[in-house]
């Protein structure tokens, strides 16, 4: 049976110029931080930006942005669909509006269902960029996104750790098989001058976009977007945001 | 329809004394390193130990243990089921024997299917401990495990980061709702003397088991179990292994 909602999705996204899927092979590499900071940096440049947290099993962009949930907190408006609230200059959407930040044990089929539901009800309107915080690895959400959305562009986050990069190798080879465009790789939490990841990225035939030095100030900046833009991750990502039009 | 394989699973695990599910709220906190090191440390004490990598979408324990795959590499033996090969004193099982370390894009229903298949064909034999490297968060594998296995005991890994701990808060509250035993929380990658996580763990009513200092030597020790037992993570986990009988 064809899900009638899937035909609605293209309509909902038709005024969105570019969709950037911030991904990683494994968790804990700073994917949500990069996605949030990239969205903030693009918005700071005066662009129309949306941020959509698709990491349903461990959503964290709302914590990074310092969003207060609950009855007194932020809620999307219902108006022929759902209008995402504007937070720090971003149109922001997450499952946490509905789960009230409680645990959401979702089976894969539910992940698909929530993804399709949120994509088909959210009215993004005109956007220059819609940044997606993807779940780590390749599971239901990634497979559905590829099926449902006209060519999302992938930006892949890794750390200098070989454990992280091995998972990136798998992710990029699969994305290439699926003919998905990969903007490039960002190396996060860099602590020294080694160029191993840079070299291995080029061997994969993927662009090495930028390196982000490890910065202990990031932990304190969680919840404060202005502080975040002032950390080393904020600075590297703002440079990247300036180059985004050419990537 | 009842899956006939589920009734086989209890039979396959009947000689396993304890099943320790090493879990985390989010990825990248060192869950696989803790699981691998715990299994190695228990085996070093002369116990019979199995290690089973259930993080199907980004398996990494084979990289940590330095296992060579492929035709010339390690393969399980077929004998009225699958006999896990012994690696560094552990009976070791992973999906990578069958995927040859290529990307495995699994939908949730496939995760369930692979999990049930591997649980129902693997002949662990007599074990004091079976250590499971769980996927991060709560998805299909965790829900199935709770359904299929008689009381696994959960050991939860976090880092000092508030982002990581918020996901642990959700995981532990859900495990408690499901009446699952939680052995306690391990705080990994600790860089200072703050006791925030220790205090927050106690507020959750969960035991704070140990803290593991951040150690740059861990990256070099990946692939070399002996080196790994000699790092700070190795030392902390060996102490924990000595206490495991009382936990």
pLDDT digits (tens, 9 = 90+) for B199-243: 999 999 999 999 999 999 999 999 999 999 999 999 999 999 999
At B87, is the pLDDT very low, low, confident or very high (cuts 50, 70, 90)? Answer: very high
pLDDT of residue B34: 98
SS3 content of chain A, % helix, strand, coil (to 5): 40, 20, 35
Question: What is the reported pLDDT for A72?
Answer: 65
Q: In whole angstroms, what is the distance from residue A76 CA to residue A78 CA?
A: 7
pLDDT digits (tens, 9 = 90+) for B93-148: 998 888 876 666 778 888 888 899 999 999 999 999 999 999 888 888 888 888 89
pLDDT at B223: 94
Q: pLDDT band for B245, please (50, 70, 90 cuts).
A: confident
Bridge partners of residue A20, in order along the sequence: A131, A153
Q: Give the whole-number percent of chain B exceeding pLDDT 70.
A: 96
Task: Give the residue from B54, B52, B49 showing the smallest Cα distance to B17.
Answer: B49
Query: Which DSSP helix (H) or strand (E) runs through B135?
Result: none
**Can you give the pLDDT at residue B33?**
97
With beta carbons less than 8 A apart as the criterion, state whether B127 and B48 touch. yes
Name the pLDDT band for B72 (thresholds 50, 70, 90): low
In chain A, whose CA is at the least distance from the CA of B103?
A170
Write the Ramachandran bin of B161: left for phi over 0, alpha for psi from -120 to 50, otherwise beta. beta
Q: In this predicted structure, what is the pLDDT of residue B221?
A: 96
Mean pLDDT to the nearest integer, B29-36:
96
Question: What is the pLDDT at residue B3?
Answer: 73
The edge-to-edge listing of strands for the beta sheet with A208-213 is: A86-87, A90-94, A49-53, A127-133, A16-24, A153-158, A182-190, A208-213
Q: Quick one: pLDDT at residue A1?
A: 57
Give the pLDDT score at A139: 81
Q: What is the ipTM of this complex?
A: 0.73
The pLDDT tens digits along chain A (247 residues) read: 567 777 889 999 999 999 999 999 988 899 999 999 999 999 999 999 999 999 988 889 999 999 987 666 777 888 888 999 999 999 999 988 888 766 667 788 888 888 999 999 999 999 999 999 998 888 888 888 888 898 899 999 999 998 899 899 989 998 998 899 999 999 999 999 899 999 999 999 999 999 999 999 999 999 999 999 999 999 999 999 999 988 8
pLDDT of residue B80: 82
- Nearest Cα residue to A205 out of A161, A243, A168, A160: A168
**Given CB atoms, is A7 within the 8 Å cutoff of chain B?**
no
Closest CB from B60, B108, B136 relative to A111: B108
- pLDDT at res. B68: 82
pLDDT at B177 over 80: yes
Between chain A and chain B, the number of residue pairs with CB atoms below 8 A apart is 130
pLDDT of residue A206: 97
B26, B101, B142 member nearest A27 (Cβ): B26
Q: Which of B24, B163, B217 to mutate to test the interface with A (most CBs of A within 10 A)?
A: B163
Chain B residues 122-181 with a CB less than 8 Å from chain A: 136-140, 142-143, 159-164, 166-167, 170-171, 173-174
Minimal C-alpha gap between B125 and chain A (Å): 30
pTM for the full predicted model: 0.85
Q: What is the pLDDT of residue A228?
A: 97
User: What residues in A contact B140, CB-CB < 8 Å?
Assistant: 107-108
Interface membership of B57 toward A (CB under 8 Å): yes
Weakest-pLDDT range from B10-14, B153-157, B231-235, B236-240? B10-14
Taking CB atoms and an 8 Å cutoff, what residues of chain A touch B160?
219
| Cβ–Cβ gap B171/A103 under 8 Å | yes
């Amino acid at each position: 049976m064809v899900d009638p909602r899937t035909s609605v999705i293209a309509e909902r996204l038709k005024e969105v110029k570019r969709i950037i899927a911030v991904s990683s092979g494994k968790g804990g590499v700073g994917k949500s931080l990069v996605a949030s900071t990239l969205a903030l940096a693009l918005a700071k440049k005066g662009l129309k930006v949306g941020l959509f947290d698709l990491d349903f099993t461990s959503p964290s962009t709302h914590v990074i942005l310092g969003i207060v949930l609950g009855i007194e907190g932020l809620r999307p408006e219902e108006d022929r669909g759902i209008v995402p609230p504007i937070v720090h200059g971003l149109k922001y959407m997450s499952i946490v509006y509905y789960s009230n930040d409680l645990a959401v044990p979702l089976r894969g089929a539910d992940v698909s269902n929530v993804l399709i539901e949120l994509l088909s009800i959210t009215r993004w309107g005109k956007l220059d960029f819609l940044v997606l915080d993807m779940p780590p690895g390749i599971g239901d959400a990634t497979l559905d996104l590829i099926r449902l959305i006209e060519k999302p562009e992938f930006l892949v986050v890794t750390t200098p750790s070989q454990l992280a990069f091995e998972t990136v190798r798998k992710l990029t080879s699969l994305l290439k098989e699926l003919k998905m465009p990969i903007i490039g790789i960002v190396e996060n939490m860099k602590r020294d001058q080694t160029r191993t990841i840079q070299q291995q990225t080029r061997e994969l035939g993927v662009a090495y976009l930028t390196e982000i030095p490890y910065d202990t100030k990031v932990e304190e900046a969680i919840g404060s977007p202005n502080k975040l833009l002032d950390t080393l991750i904020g600075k590297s990502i703002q440079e990247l945001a300036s180059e985004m039009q050419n990537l």
